[in-house]
Structure 1
Amino acid sequence: MHELKLFSLNGNRPLAEKIAEEVGLPLSPARVNHFADGEVQIELPESVRGADVYVIQSVSDPVNENFMEL
């Protein structure tokens, strides 16, 4: 069985924390950087190679920002 990793972006951190608690997994760290020109950079400081990865993100307002983080 593959290792499971759970990530949360900025869209709904409280929901991600609740899901992590319910499934008994820690949230893996993810850094979200927004640049002045509107670009977004996501950094995952740990390897996800070979893991099953789940990303929790809302696409509610602000839709463009939240969707682009995905």
Structure 2
Amino acid sequence: MRIFALNASRDFGGKLAFALGVPIDEHEERDFEDGEHKARPLVSVRGEDVYVLQQLHGSARESVNDKLCKLLFFRHVARGHRVPRLRLPVLARIGEVRNDSRHA
């Protein structure tokens, strides 16, 4: 099993990996001047189950779209390495989850 925590989720990923007793695997993320992104694993993921953590809430530094693009780029590269199972857990900020229950 390989666990990657993209930069926006590094703190959470470290805590999760510690609780599971596994290390966070190394990856590369780069932002280019023209707005393009690069994200890729720096360890072999061929034949491994891969979990990629990425918080998707927007911030002043990165928009939701930027974070989602990085996650999808990383997914595409991992799929190219013949990963049998690739999991992308969605990390939402609890304070921003909307309650849609109806009151009678």
Answer whether TM exceeds 0.5 for this pair.
yes
Match of 2:64 in 1: 63
Structure 1 residue 35: deviation in Å? 0.8
> Of the two structures, which has the highest relative contact order with CA contacts closer than 8 Å and spacing of 6 or more?
1
Percent identity, aligned pairs only? 36
The alignment's TM-score, normalised by the length of structure 2, stands at 0.61
Unmatched 5+ residue regions in structure 1? Answer: none
Q: Which runs of 4+ in 1 moved over 2 A?
A: none
Structure 1 residue 43: deviation in Å? 2.4
Alignment of 1:37-52 (within 5 A): 37-52=34-49
Q: Deviations over 1:4-50 (max 9, x none)?
A: 00001022211100100011110000110111111111121211000
CA RMSD of aligned residues (A): 0.9
The alignment's TM-score, normalised by the length of structure 1, stands at 0.88
Unmatched 5+ residue regions in structure 2? Answer: 72-104
Amino acid at match of 2:51: Y
